[in-house]
């Protein structure tokens, strides 16, 4: 079988340890191998990098194991060609039982060109993706806290959510703040309604008649503080994302014209798949990569 790379390495990556198998082929075609074990601290990863560079290693392959491949990738990126491979494709072949054999098997497949690398976006896109994914996490967390707040309202016999579409809107927030301040007069609470909600003042009076205890006020206060913190964090993330995407305003504008796509969705699309579609042969490949993105692990 043809040997494509004269000096290459297979890595079996774990949380605290990496087993590296380096294969080198001399001018006579004789294949030699070296096995070394490294810890996953930065200093040890730098030692791994120095060893590979000194050996003239041109290609390194590793499995996409959880998030443990990322520190290795961070150190070796730019030093040599890196292949992060779907672990399922490698493990489909039986017979390997140790970490050393795993590394040996990976480098053997690599040397003969039998591994297909997953696409790993450039650093700037990976950073942007961290921001958009974290923003999504915080948005979902905010929704969960709002749901918990509504449960507290129900426990206090307050039916605000049945009248106001958004209990965290301007009117709902004003009413909640008044409740926390000790206001119990439902007429005065209902008068805090703004805009179209003022047409529902009679219903609001009924909805705001409850049994509010100090326990409820404490819970609501904590939840509103949590929501405020999340709102501020989401705002900071959105500002940072917008700044990093400044060079792509035209692409965002075009994506924003698609049905069902707003600016935030457009930002997330660029963060996830980038703007260069030439790396994907067709739409099916793009969907497959996005669905099985190794960095999601």
pTM, whole model, 2 decimals? Answer: 0.84
Q: Do 283 and 269 meet the contact criterion of CB atoms below 8 Å apart? A: no
Q: In this predicted model, what pLDDT tens digit does every residue of 209-223 receive, in sequence order? A: 999 999 999 999 999
What are the residues facing 24 on neighbouring strands? 7, 32
Flag whether pLDDT at 92 surpasses 70: no
Contacts of 187 (CB under 8 A, 6+ apart): 205
Q: In this predicted model, what pLDDT tens digit does every residue of 132-142 receive, in sequence order? A: 999 999 999 99
Residue 163: per-residue pLDDT: 95
Q: Residues of the chain with pLDDT > 70: what percent?
A: 95
The closest alpha carbon to 65, from 103, 119, 122, 15, belongs to 15
The closest alpha carbon to 293, from 133, 174, 181, belongs to 133
Residue 94: per-residue pLDDT: 59
Q: Do 38 and 17 meet the contact criterion of CB atoms below 8 Å apart? A: yes
Euclidean distance between CA atoms 71 and 97, whole angstroms:
25
What are the tokens at 71? 């520190």
Residue written as token pair 């004269």: 6
Torsion of CA 245, 247, 249, 252, to 10 degrees: -60
Q: Using 50, 70 and 90 to split pLDDT, how confident is the model at 297?
A: very low
Average pLDDT of every residue of the chain: 92
Flag whether pLDDT at 189 surpasses 60: yes
What are the residues facing 12 on neighbouring strands? 19
If you count them, how many residues does the chain have?
297
Q: Does an H or E element contain 173, and which? A: helix 170-180
Q: Do 100 and 21 meet the contact criterion of CB atoms below 8 Å apart? A: yes
Distances (CA, A) of 20 to 132, 254, 291: 34, 46, 29
Q: In this predicted model, what pLDDT tens digit does every residue of 51-68 receive, in sequence order? A: 999 999 999 999 987 899
Number of CB atoms found within 10 A of residue 106's CB: 28
Flag whether pLDDT at 8 surpasses 80: yes
Distances (CA, A) of 251 to 51, 53, 99, 131, 266: 43, 39, 45, 19, 8
């Amino acid at each position: 079988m043809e040997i494509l790379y004269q000096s290459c390495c297979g890595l079996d990556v774990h949380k605290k340890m990496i087993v590296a198998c380096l294969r080198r082929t001399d001018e006579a075609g004789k294949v030699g191998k070296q096995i070394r074990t490294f810890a996953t601290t930065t200093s040890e990863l730098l030692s791994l990098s120095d060893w590979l560079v000194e050996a003239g290693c041109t290609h390194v392959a590793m499995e996409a194991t959880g998030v443990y491949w990322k520190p290795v990738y961070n150190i070796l990126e730019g030093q040599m060609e890196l292949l992060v491979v779907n672990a399922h494709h490698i493990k489909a072949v039986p017979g390997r039982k140790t970490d050393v054999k795993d590394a040996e098997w990976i480098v053997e497949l690599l040397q003969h060109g039998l591994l297909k690398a997953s696409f790993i976006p450039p650093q700037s896109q990976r950073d942007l993706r961290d921001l958009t994914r974290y923003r999504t996490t915080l948005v979902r967390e905010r929704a969960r806290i709002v749901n918990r707040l509504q449960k507290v309202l129900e426990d206090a016999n307050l039916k605000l959510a049945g009248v106001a579409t958004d209990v965290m809107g301007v009117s709902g927030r004003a009413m909640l703040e008044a409740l926390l301040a000790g206001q119990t007069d439902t007429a005065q609470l209902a008068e805090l309604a703004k805009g179209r909600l003022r047409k529902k003042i009679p219903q609001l009076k009924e909805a705001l008649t409850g049994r509010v205890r100090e326990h409820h006020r404490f819970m609501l206060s904590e939840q509103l503080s949590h929501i405020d913190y999340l709102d501020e964090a989401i705002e900071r993330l959105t500002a940072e994302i917008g700044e990093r995407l400044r060079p792509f305003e035209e692409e965002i504008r075009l994506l924003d014209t698609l049905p069902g796509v707003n600016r935030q969705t457009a930002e997330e699309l660029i963060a996830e798949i980038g703007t260069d579609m030439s790396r994907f042969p067709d739409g099916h490949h793009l969907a497959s990569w996005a669905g099985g993105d190794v960095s999601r692990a």
